Amino acid sequence: MNNFSIKDVLKKNVMAIALLVIYVFFTIMTGGNMFTSSNVASLIDQNAYVFILGTGMLMCMLTGGNIDLSVGSFVCFMGAIVGIFSVENKIIHSAASVPAVLLIAIAVGLAYGALLGFLIAYMRIPPWIATLAGYLAFRGLGTQILITASETSAISNFPDGFLKIFSGKIFESGYDTMNIPCIVLGVLGAGAVIVLNLMGRAKKIKKGYSADPLWFVILKSVLIAAIIMVIAVQLSWDGGLPVVVLWIIAILVIYGIITEKTTIGRHFTTVGGNAETARLSGINNKLVMFCAYLNMALLTVLASLIVTARFGSANAFAGQNFELDAIAACIVGGVSAYGGSGTVVGMVIGAALIGVINQGMSLMSIDQDTIKIVKGLVLLAAVVFEIVSKKGNKKQ
């Protein structure tokens, strides 16, 4: 179509390109170590929670730059709750079945989310104060539950049924053989991307809408498919496809659709863009705020289950600084600190960028503290970039 330009495409995907460049940079700097199967697998495993919490945080931030500081503590608390119900301990002497435990977890998450949403949306308590209280309270409660429940102040020996839902590999195989199911799933995924892209374009053309040129769609699809295949092959040499990948994909796809393609997502961005306009356009602002925090709590529950399953234990240190990781992923991913704009894809790239920097620098045996400094500076640079580019836009 006439208004297609390569420059715009590059401009829109500057973060994705940055991610690619940084990944290649670290791969070279680590002598290819970054690109081994086990490191690709652990990159995904270690950062699974960031994607999920980042999604929740994105929804909160869309409504006006609001954040939730309590997610890390709530992860710890939920780990403890799940622990005492699914493993025999000093508080509850007989373990509940896995479905029952999951129901309990969801119920607790709903309760906290509803309370938080009520305080913030209807009582108008500033979000960061309400969640700061949660930050303090849940860390204490979680730790206390764990201490009371077990002498080691950690609960482990989770039932296999539980672990299998949130961790491990699908059709796990040995480390020196290629895992066929993983490859098959990869091929299916890659194929789906190509087919969906092409079909989407065909539909557009049929209806007479404007569409990107064919070569571009093919190039884009092939590129994404290639990335999927590379990851799939890497994972197949590391025992198979991790279960968390399915969770991550499910959450990202669902929320990607919600934010991009539904009226609900539109409501969120509008409230953050201009609350008064939203109200006069028939949107219930309070309900939107309420939902943002209810949703955040539910996703935090999921993140907690994944983290607990990954370590196979619930401990008092779980979830420390998770809120910072989630916020950083959003900010680096171009989510506005004032609300109103931001995408799931952006957040994913932001999370991946931080994850890659983290892992790359660790593999280069740079110490954790320098990594912290670099992470902080990346975050600052991302915000300043956003502010400056907005100013530039206005001047035009």
For another protein, give the closer residue by CB, 94 or 368. Answer: 368
137 belongs to the binding site for another protein (CB under 8 A): yes
Instruction: Single out the residue of 65, 159, 168, 181 in contact with another protein (rule: CB under 8 A).
Output: 65
The Cα 193–Cα 203 span in angstroms is: 15
Which stretch in 35-43, 236-244, 302-310, 332-340 sits in contact with another protein by CB under 8 A?
332-340
Residue 224 is a binding residue for another protein (CB under 8 A): no
Minimum distance from residue 326 beta carbon to another protein (Å): 12
Q: Give whichever of 93 and 207 is closer to another protein, judged by the CB atom.
A: 207
Query: According to the binding rule CB under 8 A, does residue 128 interact with another protein?
Result: yes
Q: Of 147 and 222, which has the nearer Cβ to another protein?
A: 147
Q: How far is the CB of 232 from another protein (least distance, A)?
A: 29
Choose the binding region for another protein from 36-44, 182-190, 228-236, 328-336 (rule: CB under 8 A). 328-336
Measured CA distances, 9 to 16, 21, 199, 242, 396 (Å): 11, 17, 21, 32, 20
Q: Report the alpha-carbon distance of residue 271 to residue 340 in Å, rounded.
A: 7
Helix (H) or strand (E) holding 36: none
240 lies in the site for another protein, by CB under 8 A: no
Nearer to another protein, 246 or 377 (CB): 377
For position 91 contacting another protein by CB under 8 A, the verdict is: no
- The encoded tokens of residue 5 equal 């330009």
3-state secondary structure of 283: coil
CB of 202 to another protein, least distance (A): 13
SS3 at position 70? coil
How near is the Cβ of 369 to another protein at its closest, in Å?
A: 4
Report how far residue 328's alpha carbon sits from residue 269's, in angstroms, rounded to the nearest whole number.
19
Of the candidates 10, 21, 30, 2, the residue with the CA atom closest to the CA atom of residue 359: 30
57 forms part of the interface with another protein (CB under 8 A): no
Query: Does 130 contact another protein by CB under 8 A?
Result: yes
Q: How far apart are CA 152 and CA 393, in angstroms?
A: 56
List 241's β-bridge partners, or say none.
170
Please answer whether residues 82 and 301 qualify as being in contact, where contact means their C-beta atoms are separated by less than 8 angstroms. Answer: no
Between 346 and 385, how does the x/- string for binding to another protein read (CB under 8 A)? ---------------------xxxxxxx-xxx-xx--xx-
Q: Which of residues 187-216 bind another protein (CB under 8 A)?
A: 204, 207, 209-210
Which residues, at least 6 apart from 212, have a Cβ–Cβ distance to it below 8 Å?
1, 4, 201, 220
According to CB under 8 A, which residues from 1 to 30 bind another protein? 3
Residue identified by tokens 């990335």 is: 227
Nearer to another protein, 65 or 181 (CB): 65
For residue 247, the tally of other CB atoms under 10 A from its CB is 20
By CB under 8 A, tell whether 136 contacts another protein: yes
Find the part of the chain contacting another protein (CB under 8 A) among 30-38, 225-233, 236-244, 323-331: 323-331
Of the listed pieces 97-105, 119-127, 155-163, 241-249, which binds another protein according to CB under 8 A?
Answer: 119-127
Q: Which two tokens stand for residue 81?
A: 């709750």
Q: Is 76 in the site for another protein (CB under 8 A)?
A: no
**Cβ proximity of 334 and 382 under 8 Å:** yes
DSSP code of 96? P
Q: Which residue of 331, 335, 347, 348 would you call a contact of another protein, by CB under 8 A?
A: 331
Q: What separation in angstroms does the CA of 296 have from each of 206, 320, 344, 377?
A: 40, 17, 14, 27
Give whichever of 65 and 168 is closer to another protein, judged by the CB atom: 65
**Amino acid (1-letter code) at residue 41:** A
Beta carbon of residue 177, minimum distance to another protein (angstroms, whole number)? 41
Distance of CA 6 to the CA centre of its chain: 29
Comparing CB distances to another protein, the nearer of 289 and 371 is 371
Footprint of another protein on 247-306 (CB under 8 A): 257, 261-264, 266, 269-270, 273-274, 276-284
Nearest to 319 by CA among 300, 294, 344, 293: 300
